[in-house]
Structure 1
Amino acid sequence: MSEKNEAENTETMADALKSVETVHIGDTVKGEVLAVEDKQLVVGIEGTGVEGVVPLKELSTQPIDDIRSVAKVGDKLDLVVISTIGKDKENGQYLLSKRRLEAQKVWKEIQAKFDAGETITAPVTSVVKGGLVVNAGVRGFVPASMVEDHFVEDLSQYKGQELEFKIIEIEPSENRLILSHRAIVEAGKAEARKEIFAKIQPGDVVEGKVARLTNFGAFVDLGGVDGLVHVSEIAFDHVDKPSDVLKVGQDVKVKVLAVDPERDRISLSIKATLPQPWDDIDEKAPAGSTLTGTVKRLTSFGAFVEVFPGVEGLVHISQISHEHIATPQDVLKEGQEVQVKVLSVDPDQHRLALSIKALQERPEGMEEERPSRNNNSRGEGRPRRNNSRNEHTKIPAEYQQDDSGFSLGDILGDALKDAAKGAEDNDK
């Protein structure tokens, strides 16, 4: 070999060695796929004359089932040098990654969205202790407290779901990305709340879904805003616990009773959307009919008996028994089931005059009571005298009119006579 050729060969080898030395960890290089193996790619690093390998897990930020579906011989890939794997330059000296190069780009995009206050959408890939793991191109973590605006006992339901997230914290150098779905939920509800309060008015009838049940009522979701149905507004008949008649998730129709935007409150009623108890009462309880009812309240002048949910009638003390009783409590108790006869019905005034004794046989030898002297009464007899002369007998307004079946004179007559007699005695 001539000295000239030897010098040229020496220079070529020096250039080759020099080019190898230019490959450093962290460099971005172009690699041509030379071979596709089951778990890795063998690539030639352009401009260097050396080879490297790309493991399957370093090919993409997304899961890959078949390596041949993402690369073939001759493909040219942008790669980053992550380490050396030995001194044997001929069999691949460098470990390369396409995934990490993509991740760098993803981190920059996420950082830009974070700076702009934008959100990201990503699928939940797994559930771990304390929260959710999502694939946002890079690994993101959602603490359990940031999943919803309420406690979620079982997070497994979110696996596989694609959700929107707010970026809470980002630190690419530590591969740290903290996300919140709760912030998205709260923002959505705030916007929905604003829209609902702007249009909803007392008297509106709307549909909702039972969101929560408490001892004092039910919270109904109206589409971003929860309104309260107090236990007294669930039904016309008495409800001990809302859970006795309602279930979470149940669709209900409600009437808006009151709206208070400043306190973020909406009062609702379910029973206001139901047929009124007194509708068609003259057909359900015509005069002369016999009904089964429950004693709801006892007063000094009689007993109120519920014959239909939300419909109570008065059994005056004079209509409880053929025998004299001092107070209704002598023979009746609240919650007792009784048979009653309808004496009169007034649908407009929501009044029912009832009788228990009308369904009982008169004891042998007992004289029939004289009819009331009040021309407006209906011959049901005067009430027995209330022995408690000092008690102020308060009659509900709906039973104070003459056409109730009992006049005010019938109810208070004996008490007034006692008072007059007492005055006469004092004068003597």
Structure 2
Amino acid sequence: MAEDMNQVEVKALEVGEKVAGVVTKVEEKQVLVSVEGSKLDGIIPISELSSLHVEKASDVVNEGDELQLVVTKVEDELLVLSKKAVDSEKAWADLQQKFETGEVFEAEVKDVVKGGLVVDIGVRGFVPASLVENFFVEDFSEYNGRTLTFKVVELDKEKNRVILSHRAVVEEEQKNKKAELLNSIVVGETLEGTVQRITDFGAFVDLGGMDGLVHISQLSHDHVEKTSDVVSEGQKVTVKVLSVDKDNERISLSIKETLPGPWSRVAQELSKGSITEGVVKRLVSFGAFVEVLPGVEGLVHISQISNKHIGTPHEVLSEGDTVKVKVLDINTDEQRISLSIRELEAPPVEEDYSQYQSSEESSGFQLSEMIGDQLNKLKK
């Protein structure tokens, strides 16, 4: 063993040389190292352990760790070493390659500072607040200690400036998902989504890569005044794809098309000859359309509106009137219902002329004779 040790070349080290060492002791503000190929012990000041601020040396290294170091100072009985310098040199070469290729990599957030996040990547990397997410973040404290994906967006070794972006990674992922979704989605298929945003004209639904629009007219079979009356943000919904515009990256969706239609209730709630109540929705020259169930209208033909002769439905009805109707016929296949108001009205009263007949008989002469006498007098 002694012979082997004597054969190990021990040479004097100079400032700037790279050496390998093993951590023999970790103190609060420095680390002791056994340097390979040197009879001198080495010491790493806490300031030379990392490019970031370090409170305790034990936060960075442990006893027994093998380190690559560079000599910064040679004293009579001690070598002053730097781990930070070696890490920095490797980091700059690695960052330059990542910057040129646009490579995405992971790193841990070491600190939250005013204006953004600090990341240890061998050198100090900074993530401005505007480049953390593609949405506004009020409190960044929850990002401390998290491992995120980044891209290098700015690099300047002379100024020791490294700017990273997590937002760029997120946006690229979203762009790829959007392109994949647009190429795979099929008109007519049914999908699951989440309501992301509500507007006056409808709701935007996240399909897992991009949003599609459910126009307010496609929310329900019933008339909808406000989008929020039907859906809410964060709600899970089933939608049917109505159209896909790849050039403009637009998807039109429908919730209404996934729901049972209003006509599905007709057979259960109405039958030929039944009487129900409805609201006059539209008046046309040939009759009136009456809503007898939500979303279901039937026609009262002009001949079925009144027992009296009318020229137009407007003479008897107004839009918004509530009327009782009788079901004359139902055709669910063609979605048609024939209705009648007239059949629920009392028949017109016929005038009784029998009294006139009895009067003529009791007087002994006919009404026609009286009229004839009067005409003869006029001729004279």
TM-score by length of 1: 0.63
1:264/1:342 Cα in 2 relative to 1: closer, same or farther (>3 Å)? same
CA distance in 2, matches of 1:92, 1:292: 102
- Given candidates 54, 73, 79, the residue that maps to 2:69 is 79
Following the alignment from structure 2 to structure 1, what is the Cα–Cα distance between the partners of residues 249 and 83? Answer: 52
The alignment partner of 1:278 has SS state of helix
Whole-Å separation in 1 of the counterparts to 2:272 and 2:198: 41
Q: Is the 8 A contact 1:32 1:76 kept in 2?
A: yes
Query: In the alignment, residue 120 of structure 1 is paired with which amino acid?
Result: F
CA shift, 1:233, in A, is: 0.8
Please give the alpha-carbon distance, in whole angstroms, between the structure 2 residues aligned to 1:131 and 1:69. Answer: 23
Letter in 1 for 2:27: E
Alpha-carbon separation, structure 2, partners of 1:75 and 1:254: 57
Q: How does 1:51-66 map to 2 (within 5 A)?
A: 53-56=43-46, 58-60=48-50
Separation (CA, whole Å) in 1 of partners of 2:60 and 2:109: 24
> What is the CA distance between 1:201 and its match in structure 2?
2.5
Equivalent position SS for 1:111:
helix
1:198 equivalent to 2:183? Answer yes
The TM-score normalised by the length of structure 2 is 0.70
Q: Please, which moves more after superposition, 337-346 or 279-288?
A: 337-346
- Which structure 2 residue ranges, 5 or more long, are not aligned? 1-11, 351-380
Q: Which position in structure 2 is the counterpart of 1:12?
A: none
Q: How many residues align?
A: 337
- Which residue of the other structure, out of 219, 226, 244, is the alignment partner of 2:211? 226
Of 112, 117, 120, which aligns to 2:97?
A: 112
- Partner residue in 2 for 1:70: 61
Q: 1:309 to 1:182 in 2, by over 3 A?
A: farther
1: CA distance, partners of 2:42 / 2:22? 10
Partners of 2:286 and 2:302 within 8 A in 1: yes
Contact 1:295 1:337 in 2 (8 A): yes
Q: Is the 8 A contact 1:208 1:254 kept in 2?
A: yes
CA 1:235–1:97 in structure 2 vs 1: closer, same or farther (change >3 Å)?
same
The CA distance in 2 between the partners of 1:179 and 1:173, in whole Å, is 17
Percent identical residues: 50
Find the counterpart in structure 2 of residue 182 from structure 1. 167
Deviations 1:13-39, CA, capped at 9 Å, x for gaps: xxxxxx7xx865x66556676754333
Task: Indicate which of 27, 46, 56 corresponds to 1:37.
Answer: 27
In the TM superposition, residue 83 of structure 1 has moved relative to its aligned partner by 8.0
2:229 is matched by which residue type in structure 1?
D
Q: Separation in 1 of the partners of 2:279 and 2:113? A: 57
Amino acid in the other structure paired with 1:231: I
2:336 is aligned with 1:345: no
Q: For 1:60 and 1:165, how far apart are their aligned partners in 2?
A: 20
Structure 1 residue matching 2:263: 3-state secondary structure: coil
Any idea what SS the aligned residue of 2:271 has?
coil
Matched-pair contact (CA < 8 Å) for 2:51–2:124: no
**AA in 2 matched with 1:207:** E
Q: Which residue of 2 aligns with 1:259?
A: 244
Larger Rg over CA atoms: 2
- Which one of the candidate residues 263, 266, 275 is aligned to 1:281? 266
The question of whether the paired residues in 2 share the 8 Å contact of 1:120 and 1:167 is answered with no
Distance 1:147 1:68 in 2: 26
Q: What is the CA deviation profile of residues 128-157 of structure 1, one whole-angstrom value per residue up to 9, with x for unaligned ones?
A: 444333333433222333333444455455
Residue in 2 aligned with 1:13?
none
**What are the equivalent positions in structure 2 for 1:156-167 lying under 5 Å apart?**
156=141, 158-167=143-152
Counterpart Cα distance in 1 of 2:88 and 2:325: 82
C-alpha deviation, 1:68, in angstroms: 9.1
1:140 paired residue number: 125
| Corresponding position of 1:367 | 349
Structure 2 CA distance for aligned equivalents of residues 317 and 260 of structure 1: 45
How far apart, CA to CA, are the structure 2 residues paired with 1:258 and 1:76? 61
Q: Give the unaligned 5+ runs of structure 1.
A: 1-18, 369-428
Say if 2:230 is the partner of 1:245: yes
Give the partner amino acid of 2:29: K
* Mapped contact 2:300–2:339 kept (Cα < 8 A): yes
Task: Name the aligned partner's letter for residue 209 of structure 1.
Answer: T
